[in-house]
Amino acid sequence: MFKQTAAITAMNLRGLTQRLGPSSVIVIGIAVTVAVLVSVQAMALGFQKTLSHTGRPDRAIVLRGGSEAELNSTISRENTLTIMDGPGIRKDADGKPLASAEAVAIVALPQKSNDAPANVTMRGVGAKAFALRPEIHLVAGRMFQPALREIIVGTSAQAQFKGLELGSHIGIRDSDWTVVGVFDSNGDAHQSELIGDVETVLSAFRHNLFHSVTVMLESPEAFDHFKDALTTDPTLTVDVEREPDYYAKQSKQLSTVLNFVAYFVGGIAAIGAIVGALNTMYTSVAARALEIATLRAIGFGAGSVIASVMLEALLLALIGAALGATASWIFFNGNTVNTLGSNFSQIVFQLTVSPVLLIWGVVWACFIGLIGGLFPAIRAARLPVAAALRAT
């Protein structure tokens, strides 16, 4: 049977050039489906990756109780001191806690893609912020100086928004800020931000309330003790979360939406591709009715006819999958996009076409090819030999 299948398939494939139009319907249909599926999922994956790279289990973020996101939160100066005195916080060489009381403000900067103003996060950080977040490192320029209106900008922010080149000035309220450095933070959420000294930021925005406190714990296990101490302190009403948990919560909504879009769009495109494949393969079988009948008459089995039709569909599907996957990889992998995250401010991330996504694309393509081939194959095998031979 294998020999027979191989013989018929080889014959079919030689005939492919004559059926270029219909065959390209399968190939293109599947290529489009795979490309759509892979690229939308690449968006969801890229977003998740950016937020899941943010934070470490041995760091905790403290917000005012019930505020959900930093921008909503407010913490008074006295409370930040109480929080930084909490148990289980790692101490620096000079015995000071590794913690940073921070303020975030939103600055409207034009997007490079459409010039529309986007909410970019400007973060004021404490003196220990960079010991606290060793992942932040400068790639150009120098660090800002406290008390001066200087900021450093993330590479993602610089890529997506206008006016953040080294040395450029940003007018915020009645103050003028200079970009003195550019930083990279391993592609996490902070890379979409502008960072300056917290006291200078607070004074420029005429605020006296902080938004959050981030602390480095002695170990991930110290978290529960730290949290219990703060939440039972009668002078505080705060929520304490591990950084990864906080950022996972922030990304949940958009990830759900993006994943839904991927499956909805991909599913419909797949249905379209299956129908297209069925159409083509039925036509292909009908056009070769005489050929198939002759084969059956000279002793080829029904099984090998079925297998050969399905193999043809599968092969076309694989060509489509390869085209679609390559196209999505070339056009979308590493593409930088920005959108509004749940802190009411922009988050920049890269579309990530991972091998797993590509494999999934191929699996979908095979599934489409198999369904598209199965029914026409059965029809081919059932073709009454005598009637088909007489049809001409």
Partner 1 sequence: MKYFPLLWATLWRRKARTVFTLLSLTAAFLLLGTLQAANAMFSGGSLNLSAPILIVQARVSFTQPLPLRLLPQLEAIPGVSSVSHSQFFGGVYKDVKNFFPQFAVNPERWRKTSLECHLSDEQFQAWTASRTAAVAGRQLAERFGWKIGDRIPLTSQIWPLKDGSRAWTFDLVGIFDDSSKDSCVRQGNMYIRYDYFDEGRQFGQGGAGIYLLRLSDPNRAEAVSRQVDALFENSPDETKTQTEKDFTLNFVRQLGNLNLILSGITVAVFFSILLVTGNTMSQAVRERIPELAVLKTIGFSDGGVLALVLAEALLLCVLGGLAGMLLSVAALDIIAKLPIGIPPIDADLRVWLFAAASMLGLALLVGILPALRAKNLSIIEALAVR
Residues at the site binding partner 1, with contacts judged by CB under 8 A: 21-22, 24-25, 28-29, 31-33, 35-36, 39-40, 43, 64-69, 71-72, 74, 105-108, 111, 113-114, 116-119, 171-174, 205-206, 209, 237, 253, 256-257, 260, 264-265, 268-269, 271-273, 275-276, 278-280, 282-283, 332, 337-340, 344, 346
From CA 60, how far away is CA 217, in angstroms rounded? 7
State in angstroms the smallest separation of the CB of 216 from partner 1.
27
Closer CB to partner 1, residue 222 or residue 285?
Answer: 285
Q: How many helices (H) and strands (E) does the chain have?
A: 12, 12
The least CB distance from residue 138 to partner 1, in Å, is 25
Contact call for residues 43 and 351 (beta carbons, < 8 A): yes
- Distance, in Å, from the CA atom of 32 to the CA atom of 323, rounded to the nearest integer, reads 9
Supply the minimum distance, in Å, between the C-beta of residue 331 and partner 1: 8
- Cβ at position 22, least distance to partner 1 in Å: 6
Listing DSSP states for 53-70 in one string gives TS--TTEEEEEETT--SG
Integer Cα distance of 73 and 91 in angstroms: 26
C-alpha to C-alpha distance for 343 and 112, rounded to whole angstroms: 21
Nearer to partner 1, 72 or 145 (CB): 72
Whole-number minimum distance, CB 36 to partner 1, in Å?
5
CB of 222 to partner 1, least distance (A): 28
Number of neighbouring beta carbons within 10 Å of residue 238? 22
Is the Cβ of residue 1 or residue 264 nearer to partner 1 in the bound state?
264
Q: Which is nearer to partner 1, 99 or 189 (CB)?
A: 189
Q: How far is the CB of 356 from partner 1 (least distance, A)?
A: 20
Among residues 254 and 306, whose Cβ is nearest to partner 1? 254
- Name which of 4 and 76 has its Cβ closer to partner 1: 76
Compare residues 205 and 223 and give the one whose CB is closer to partner 1. 205
The residue (of 104 and 136) whose beta carbon lies closer to partner 1 is 104
User: Residue 296 is encoded by which pair of tokens?
Assistant: 């059956």
Angle between helices 355-382 and 302-332 (to 10 degrees): 150
Six token digits for residue 22: 């219909």
DSSP string spanning 229-243? HHHT-TT--EEEEEH
Residue whose CB is less far from partner 1, 167 or 234: 234
Q: How far is the CB of 53 from partner 1 (least distance, A)?
A: 19
Q: How far is the CB of 316 from partner 1 (least distance, A)?
A: 13
Q: Decide if 354 contacts 80 (C-beta within 8 A).
A: no
For partner 1, give the closer residue by CB, 209 or 314.
209
Helix/strand/coil for 251: helix
Supply the DSSP string of 180-232, one letter for each residue.
EEEEE-TT-GGGGSEEEEHHHHHHHTT---B-EEEEEBSSGGGHHHHHHHHHT
Backbone angles phi, psi at 234, to 5 degrees: -65, -20
* Least distance to partner 1, CB of residue 270, Å: 9
CA dihedral 331, 333, 338, 339 (to 10 degrees): 90
Distance, CA of 85 to CA of 235 (rounded, Å): 13
